[in-house]
Structure 1
Amino acid sequence: MEEGPKKHLKEWLLAQVDSGAFEGLRWEDQAKTMFRIPWKHAAKKDYKETDDAALFKAWALHKGKHMEGKDRANPTVWKTRLRCALNKSTDFQMVPELSQLDISEPYKVYRIRQDGGPSSQAESPQRKDSMTIRVKTSSWSPGFQEIEESFQACEEEPEQKDQPNELIRDHMYCEPTGKKSPTQHSAWLTFCSSIHTISDFRMQVTLLYHGHSVMRCTTKSPEGCFILHGRGPLGSERIYGPCTAQQLFFPSPNSFHASSYMVEAINRLLCHLERGVLLWVAPDGVFIKRFCQGRVYWSGPMAPNADQPNKLEREKTFKLLDTSIFLNDLQNCLQGKGTPPLYRIELCFGEEYPDPTTPKTTKLVMVQVVPMFAVDLLQRLSLDEMKNTTDLPNTNTEKTEKVHPAGRPL
């Protein structure tokens, strides 16, 4: 028997919010202008497919992209399908400042757009939450069923018909050109597979006093890291559960070879950096949340100003790097259509930054952050000749390196 017409995304999704059938899927405000969607990563140790993938599976069933009892379960593809539908729809806009992806029960918040116009984010008008790079199968590329399935998940008919340019951008190809050796073929396959799912959440973090490196380490925790002086934010464990983010403490400047005046100035600044900042890498980018009283400024790929200070507001989540933009820039560079992608992030504590009138080597306290997935991709593609990869960090770094003696152990 032929089924009736399928509901479009907006009609279907809002009906699910109202139904209360999915745990965690609920309205965010009384006026019902925003709602939250549970968004737990499959790598979480408490992930349960029956609960955490239920909504994504329901959308796949509704669209006829999954047949119960016939098709194998594929939560990653189900999630990709709904995410891509949301990205393409002009009815919804993600609200990053209300979304929480760094807690034990993460979720995204979406606003229902009333004007029906193209969605935009405050962080970047060209921002997209995800980028799908397609690998064309050929005689040398067997076994790419899962990559093709996830691409097809983003290839379903758009909810709106007036976005051809955006849809074309989503369906770019990652395909080796010319005759290549088996080793080169393997490198390309590995590269495209890595792009398909960013799962390396490590960061190389370097702490600097007055332009001199005083500590360097590569973080390991998927929850990211606190960079702070004193103690981390407390009081939320009862609600969100314990935080397993790595803690990096600013070392004492007393052992730093500087004048007593400089040591005193750094110590005065560190007093305002208790609770610090929380940095983390997620599949869609690099994020930060400031908890300390002291002001924090930054520069990086998504900074609004290149020659003026960019301030981080307190207890507000900021996106410092967008994975989709990075991959898009990388793809263009590989095709000879652009410059190498930017991925380095700099934080300046207590002093305005960027500041074209003052060299950054004179700033009292700075932090440099490099997401390791970006480094790994560039290294695998042998792009060392790129001007911003001449001093790529070692992707195998595990131990904390203290260039000068530190007063507080990690």
Structure 2
Amino acid sequence: MAAPGGPMRLKEWLIAQIDSGRYPGLRWENRHRTLFRIPWKHAAKQDYRQQQDAALFKAWAIYKGKYHEGTDKADPSTWKTRLRCALNKSTDFQEVPERSQLDISEPYKVYQIVSDGTWAAEKDGDTQSPVEDQQGSAVGSPEEDTHRGSVEMSQVSPSPLLSVHPTERDCWLHVRLYYCDVLVKEVTTRTAEGCRITSRPVPADSEWLYGPSCLEQIEFPPPRALGGSGRVIGMTDVLERLLPHLERGVLLWVAPEGVFMKRQCQGRVYWNGPLAPHRDGPNKLEREKTYKLLDTQQFLQQLRGYLSHGQPMPQYQIHLCFGEEYPTSIGQHFQKLIMAHVEPVFARELLHHAQRMGLTLLRDCPQPCAPSTSSHIPHVLRQLCQP
């Protein structure tokens, strides 16, 4: 417990907010006050209301001294990430994903306070149906998670998925960095909070400028340290002049709705991908604006068409180009100085498994469901293609 008059820990602070009744949708789920619900609407939704939907996240940022109203620029996505990271790091809380509802008009997540005992001891009849009671596990079954389509992956989004969570891989991103079309780094992110692609390490105690420290950092390597490729060596001076402009980087994360990005760096960034507005001309990313680069439901619908009707293969690759316009006209290819290729792991594995399953799944399909982990991919594909 915090000392009298001292700052409260997250557990104490959050209990006080629940009891206050100040935030619509923030409430206890059971009479023992061990389960509680937090409203969790994504900022990309059309009916998002910042004043109401970001109120709790903003309050935590103010309490921690990370946001000063009237002075700092409002940043709801960062506020949300900060509370998410705090919940993820705390030993007092455990997310209960099978109780969460993230695909409804007023989505919410359910957490359990676990510091006074293991969550499995909680079998309260106030909120559990007989089916839920029989499951009795902090981790829902693959069938349940897939059917509900309610497992949130990550946003600035980002969500605390623990290592035991069956959908841990859904938030992973496979990132390749290139100089002059030469691969210089390849990384698969392992954090639910997302990643930052940047040109230098993030300074300590600088969240106010760089964003949440829990994001995985992916740094472009120093060009002079690479050697080997004549193309890179010949452009070293140019690369070293461009890289400092990418210092604050770009943020990438996976959410239930798809893949999102925010450009923070001063240098220009262009992109191409499934939702790009232009195929034969440049798509510029404006600074401090959140963009949706891939839509989960669209990808699943296209995958369904690919499996059932032989329609074109769904696209999921995202290309980022730093400092130069991209893409160029159709049929033209110019060697780009700095690029990143990004693939959401869930989409890549679903497509690859679908190709391996081939004709066995060619039936009419129901409404698409949410992506699941690699070990559950066959089930997801069968769900997509059941009559």
Into which bin does the TM-score normalised by the smaller protein fall? 0.5 to 0.7
Q: 2:251 aligns with which of 278, 302, 306?
A: 278
1:226 matches 2:180: no
Distance between the aligned counterparts of 1:213 and 1:188, measured in 2? 36
Q: 2:336 aligns with which of 354, 363, 375?
A: 363
Contact 1:276/1:291 (8 A) holds in 2: yes
Distance between the aligned counterparts of 1:152 and 1:257, measured in 2? 48
Stretches of structure 1 lacking an aligned partner (at least 5 in a row)? 1-44, 108-145, 156-186, 387-394, 397-410
> What's 2:187 paired with?
217
Secondary structure of 2:200's match? coil
Contact 2:78/2:212 (8 A) holds in 1: no
TM-score (norm 2): 0.53
Contact 1:105/1:240 (8 A) holds in 2: no
Task: Indicate the larger mover: 285-294 or 298-307.
Answer: 285-294
Show the 5 A alignment for 1:163-312.
189=143, 192-193=146-147, 195-199=149-153, 200-232=170-202, 237=207, 242-254=212-224, 255-259=227-231, 260-312=233-285
TM-aligned CA distance change 1:327 to 1:99, over 3 Å: farther
1:383 matches 2:355: yes
Distance between the aligned counterparts of 1:337 and 1:60, measured in 2? 46
Contact 1:233/1:275 (8 A) holds in 2: no
Amino acid of the residue matched to residue 100 of structure 1? Answer: P
Distance between the aligned counterparts of 2:330 and 2:46, measured in 1? 43
1:236 positional shift: 5.2
Aligned positions, number: 267
Contact 2:267/2:323 (8 A) holds in 1: yes
TM-aligned CA distance change 1:46 to 1:221, over 3 Å: farther
> What's 1:12 paired with?
none
1:194 positional shift: 8.3
TM-aligned CA distance change 1:269 to 1:376, over 3 Å: same
Q: Which has the higher contact order (CA 8 A, sep 6+)?
A: 1
Deviations 1:104-156 (Å, cap 9, x if unpaired)? 5569xxxxxxxxxxxxxxxxxxxxxxxxxxxxxxxxxxxxxx9899699679x
Deviations 1:204-251 (Å, cap 9, x if unpaired)? 000011212111010112221121112437775369985111111111
Q: 1:352 aligns with which of 306, 313, 325?
A: 325
1:382 positional shift: 3.0
Distance between the aligned counterparts of 2:350 and 2:186, measured in 1? 21
TM-score (norm 1): 0.50
Distance between the aligned counterparts of 2:210 and 2:240, measured in 1? 33
> What's 1:178 paired with?
none
